Amino acid sequence: MEEMPKNYDAAQVEERMLQKWLDGGFYARSKGSEDRTVVIPPPNVTGMLHMGHALDDTIQDTFIRYCRMRGYSTRWILGTDHAGIATQTKVDKKLKAEGISRLEIGREKFLEACQDWRVQYGGIIVEQIKRMGCSVDFDDEKFTMSPEYAKAVRKVFVDWYHDDLIYRGKRIVNWCPNCTTAISDDEAEYQDEHGHLWHLRYPLTEPVDGIEHITVATTRPETMLGDTGIAVSPDDPDKAKFIGKTVMLPIVNREIPIFSDWHVDAGFGTGFVKVTPAHDPNDFAMGQAHDLPQINVFDEHAVVVEGYGEFTGMDRDECRVAIVKWFEDHGLLDHVDDHDHSVMHCYRCDSTLEPWLSEQWFVGVDKLKGPALDVVNNGQVKFHPDRWTQTYTTWMENLKDWCISRQLWWGHRIPVFYCDECGWEDALMEDVDTCPKCGGHVHQDEDVLDTWFSSQLWTFATQGWPDNLDELEGHHPTKVLVTARDIIALWVARMVMSSLYFTGQIPFEDVFIYATILAKDGSRMSKSKGNGVDPMDLINMYGADAMRYNLLTLVTGSQDVKFDADIDPKTHELLGSPRTDAARGFVTKIWNASRFVMMNLDGYTPGEPVAATAADAWIFSRLAKLTKSITDGIEAYEFGDVSRELYDFFWNEFCDWYIEMTKDRLRGEGEERAVAQRNLVYVLDTALRLLHPVMPFVTEAIWEHLPVAEGQPALMVAQWPDPVDYEKWVDDNSEVAVAMACGVVGAIRSTRAQYRLSPKADVPVVVKVPAASEAALAAQAGLITSLARVSNLTVAANAERPAESAAVIAEGCEVYCVLSGLVDFAAERQRLEAEQKKLSGEYAKLEKKLSNEGFVQKAKPEAVEKAKAQFAEVGDKLALIAAQLSELA
């Protein structure tokens, strides 16, 4: 085989391996035993992938690559979401920049512009997913507005409509005046804001016990134009005398009643609450209970409608200022308090949402949420980590009817048709132009469906439902959904409800919730802040394997994780990521160690591995346990533990110890060398297979050069190491003995480094060992001698410390390195004392600096942390020198 290049070129290797996999058709669904189908959470077609996508997709790819190698039936479904509000907003901005309005070009032309946008950006997203090494089936891409998917969406609406689960009604919704559409409760983002509580006087139509007005407290004086009642708490005896009386609403001179209602908190404000049924959900409920008029004072842009004099045409902010001024001018502004409260904002454009009465379509959830709760409570659907189960159940238990209509053009148009003449209405699978009842003209509802309505069908509508159920057979329920906690309510719960209703099955067996990736300072990543990280920048800088490995090590069960990217504050360009750089170092280590093995395979002859030495028995036993641990870890979605265990084995046990232990035999001849070669190939081959799902590119490129790869199509479709096949190698006694020997070698090496002994100097060593371990460690004398350059080794349970020796505790043993003739003790003591004096000065300066309140409070946080780290490091060095001086004494 061709010799491995000396240096690993990530860009060149990744491009070549990707093309190899695509040309080989290895990403297509595979047939096997147990089904492991996974659907990718469809990214929006509005832009590029972010770090959350990168982590999500890396986790899925690690799992699906493992399942494919394990011989399971695998299918990984790719797709993108049309993202109604987000895409329409983006295309609106694009057209505006070109001097075009969607209202001018009309609905059809605008939808064409949206499709063009989708083709452009959807294609970019797919290419990014490819570059990450994701082995998703690119030849079977789905889209939430493709004709076949649209048919599934339409069927769900029509069936639910006819099953009385979908209805239209006038209700309070969260309205975005900027996007001019309804937003569901789950999509609203709450932000704490500093505001005010205005106390306004409303005159009573008749005095009550000499009182001529009542005072209401409100955070939104601009909505008072739509007040139709005043509410008090039934638990407030002081307000009882006002119940049944009326006030004359200022400005509009509307007489409105005072009543009691349980919605009112007697301790809030003045105890009198203005009721505006068209602009507050609680007020809406009170209005219905007390038969109050519902008066909408704002239009779709939150501008005051006609009929309100000087206030007509003002937006809500202008109206607020003008209303407060009017009350002040007329002596009806009692006083103003500061009041901090939480305000809902649009998750797309960040505009303050307006509670607004409008006619919308809703899904009645009462019949749906019970079964969806049951399958989680009985364990059919499991959340990982388990704490997210409570998030799901709490939300589901408090679930209200779901507003599914959006006042947009881009999306699945609601398939309800109305007759302009006889009033006929129906939801249909096919469009109609004439009324089937009277033959009159028919028009379709103008609204479109909420994006989450269509994406709730993702696990089954992407697999042929409702027309091709054979395609769905055997691949549903899917195995695991990997997603973010933000959409447990928006998406996960709705998928469970719809799947149970239409397929009679759960949509997935497991839900893995990954941590939210935050910026280095703990804030949310965002483009507007300039602290977001583009996964493609990381790949360009470090390679896809390094990025993938670093991301997987962040999977620790934590809710949030900080990503250590350094970003230029001016240009917002990525400067570096130390953890990803360290991951690249691991990639390089894998390459270099593998290359060393390949360079020592001259004359290699195939054969079975043999535990010819204790070192062989040790590494085989460690490999057997690793194989089981990695297999179990992936099955349990413990990707962080899996990544760290792979690192510990490959870098520490295989590279640092086993390869070193094998070098003497590789320099030998005959059967001894042949066995060493076969064993190295066996361990490396197994390790590469276990590493492949995590780091696919470098492992595939190395595996091509292994003798076992001859005639095989690719590592990604090679057989996963079966833990059962490796059980025969488990040898606890060899592990204990070799681990003890490694501990002794490490102690000797640390002593050499501490006293700066020449690498060529042979050191006499005495090891005091527990009696029970004496024979086992003595049997490793040759290994210790060769690895640590020991001239004379004594292993005994009754050993005593020789004169002029350094002592180190290791693996339950006391290791004494005799330094007579190797160290000038007086010179060494003098050197250490000089170093101690220098470090003591540094220590004192850092201690003074950190005790200075001005520095700690005013300096940049990173400067303070750096000083603390230096202080700790100098302290550790001083402690080590003190120990050495004590030993020399």
> Residue 412: CB partners within 8 Å, gap ≥ 6?
145, 150, 153, 154, 448, 449, 453, 454
> Residue 41: CB partners within 8 Å, gap ≥ 6?
56, 458, 481, 482, 483, 487, 491
- Residue 341 DSSP SS3: strand
> Residue 574: CB partners within 8 Å, gap ≥ 6?
533, 534, 537, 538, 541, 565, 566, 567, 568
The annotation places the binding site for ATP at 527
Q: What gap in Å lies between CA 392 and CA 489, rounded to an integer? A: 7
Query: Among 609, 371, 391, which Cα is nearest to 503's?
Result: 371
Cis omega (within 30 of 0) for bond into 477: yes
- Residues 64, 135 contacting (CB under 8 angstroms): yes
Q: What gap in Å lies between CA 435 and CA 389, rounded to an integer? A: 48
Decide the pairing of beta strands 425-427 and 354-363: unpaired
Q: What are the tokens at 142?
A: 């789905």
Q: What gap in Å lies between CA 704 and CA 718, rounded to an integer? A: 12
Residue 314, phi then psi, degrees to nearest 5: -80, 145
> Residue 751: CB partners within 8 Å, gap ≥ 6?
757, 763, 806, 808, 815, 817
In terms of Cβ atoms closer than 10 Å to its own Cβ (0-12, 13-18, 19+), residue 108 is exposed
The annotation places the binding site at 527
Q: What are the tokens at 866?
A: 């750096």
Query: Among 319, 359, 357, 351, which Cα is nearest to 224's?
Result: 319
Q: What gap in Å lies between CA 596 and CA 435, rounded to an integer? A: 79
Decide the pairing of beta strands 354-363 and 166-176: antiparallel
- Residues 100, 423 contacting (CB under 8 angstroms): no
Decide the pairing of beta strands 229-232 and 382-384: unpaired
Helix-strand-coil split of the chain, %, nearest 5? 50, 20, 30
Q: What gap in Å lies between CA 453 and CA 556, rounded to an integer? A: 32
Decide the pairing of beta strands 211-218 and 189-208: antiparallel
- Residues 225, 326 contacting (CB under 8 angstroms): no
In terms of Cβ atoms closer than 10 Å to its own Cβ (0-12, 13-18, 19+), residue 148 is middle
Long-range contacts of 381-384 (CB under 8 A, 24+ apart): 381/496, 381/506, 381/508, 381/509, 381/510, 381/511, 382/509, 382/510, 382/511, 383/510, 383/511, 383/513, 384/510, 384/511, 384/512, 384/513, 384/636, 384/637
